[in-house]
Structure formats: C-alpha cells, structure tokens
Amino acid sequence: MSFRTEDKYIIYDHTQDIIHYLLGNGGKFLFPARKIISIYFDNENLEMFYDSEEGVVPRKKVRIRYYNNQNENSLGLCKIDKKNLKFETKINSAEGKFKIEKNLKNNKLDELKKCFYDDQYELLKPVLITEYKRYYLSFKNSRATVDSDIKYYNAKNPKIFKRDERKIFEMKSNKLYNLDIDTISIPKTRFSKYCEGCKYIFNLCPT
C-alpha cells in the first residue's frame, strides 16, 4: 500500500501530441501498449458510484483487472481469461489515495463474479466492464499513461456497450506534490471510468 497523486487530463485527439511531448522532454516508454479490461463491483444502490460523484471521503472502488497483451477482444464475464487477474481496491481517504492489489486465484473468479461482502458497502456484485488501450511512459520520476479506445459494457449483458471518444492522459506519483507539467496547456479534471461508464450505460446522474 502506498499513497499517490493522480492528475488527469482529457486530451481528445491530442494523444500523439502528448506522447511526442513526453518523449521529447526526457520521457521513455516503459513497455508496449496493452489492452486493459476491468470488472467493477458495486452494491444494489450503486453507492460507490454516488460517493465518487459527490466526493465522499472515505470511499473506494473495487474491481477485477485483466491485462491483455495481445490486444484481442475477450469481453464478457464468462470469456475473460482466468490467467493474470488482479483483485484491486482503490481507496480515497482523508490521508490521500492508495491502491491495494493482489493476484486473484483462478478458483476465486467464479465466486467473485456472483457477489461478495465488503465492510463499508456490504453486498457487491459486478456492475460494469471497462475496456481500453493504455500507453505507459516514465516522465520526470513519475509514471504517465495515455488511455484510448475506451468502451463501457453492462456487466450483466456485455452486448450492451458504449464507446467513449475521449482520451485520458494521467500522471501518477507516489510523492505528494503537484507534478510540473505546466507546459501542457490542458486543464486538470476529475475522471473515473467507472463513473463515466455508469452514466453512459445506465443514464445515471448524481443526486
């Protein structure tokens, strides 16, 4: 567990401009781009969604994440490869943001797909699947990522999906200071793929 800062920017059609800027100013690719598929969980009242939208602290997001290096479609809860799965909890507290992750054993996947209990949000079930392509770079002692080809799927029926044309640039650091990227004239923003996906798929708005 480690606290970290996360600065996000919506860059629309400027993906290559951002990557060229990072590479031209000392940045380096960490490894090849890959597809990321996540299954997000929430309770019956979608309290994780509403807590995130309203900025409630403490709050969390719970997901199963799968990294697909082949960039092949593998969506649907029953179709996701049971190898290379991670169970992740992202926590937003008064002290800061941190993530807890652990490798998921194959025999636990089917059990989690049904439901499980969380101390804060009680009974959780799969709600949303997200899929996107991610580029990874190092930049100024921090990690930069660029996400594109974002899609959101209804976890109960993955045939129901929406595309998000936005691209997301994010700077992540374990140091609690503002990252110096003032030369990029794009304002910071809040952006949660889980929350945006819920809005797209379920037509939700915070109360």
Tokens for 43?
């309770």
Instruction: Report the DSSP beta bridge partners of residue 27.
Output: none
Mean pLDDT of 90-115: 82
Q: What is the pTM of this model?
A: 0.87
- Domain assignment present for 207: no
Alpha-helix runs per DSSP H in the chain: 15-24, 47-54, 106-114, 193-202
Range of the domain at 139: 3-202
pLDDT over threshold 50, residue 78? no
For 65-76, the pLDDT digits (tens) are 988 765 455 444
Please give the pLDDT value at position 7: 87
Please give the pLDDT value at position 112: 74
Please give the pLDDT value at position 96: 83
Which of helix, strand or coil describes residue 165? coil
Distance CA 154, CA 7 (A): 27
DSSP code, position 189: B
Please give the pLDDT value at position 179: 44
Mean pLDDT of 33-52: 95
- Give the CATH number, domain containing residue 166: 3.20.100.30
Distance CA 107, CA 29 (A): 34
For 133-184, the pLDDT digits (tens) are 999 999 888 899 999 999 999 999 988 999 999 999 998 886 544 445 555 5
CA nearest neighbour of 28 among 143, 177, 182, 147: 143
Please give the pLDDT value at position 71: 45
- Domain assignment present for 158: yes
Assess contact for 89 and 99: CB atoms under 8 A: yes
Please give the pLDDT value at position 15: 83
Tokens for 53?
């939208």
Q: Which of 8-22, 79-93, 150-164 has the lowest mean pLDDT?
A: 79-93
Assess contact for 91 and 118: CB atoms under 8 A: no
Could you give the number of structural domains in the chain? 1
- Domain assignment present for 55: yes
91: confidence class by pLDDT, cuts 50, 70, 90: very high
Assess contact for 139 and 7: CB atoms under 8 A: no
pLDDT over threshold 60, residue 31? yes
The C-alpha R_g of the chain, in whole angstroms, comes to 17
Amino acid at position 115, single letter: C
Higher-pLDDT residue of 176 and 88 is 88
Residues 6+ apart with CB under 8 A from 106: 82, 83, 85
Please give the pLDDT value at position 21: 86
CA nearest neighbour of 57 among 9, 4, 120: 120
Assess contact for 171 and 126: CB atoms under 8 A: no
- Domain assignment present for 164: yes
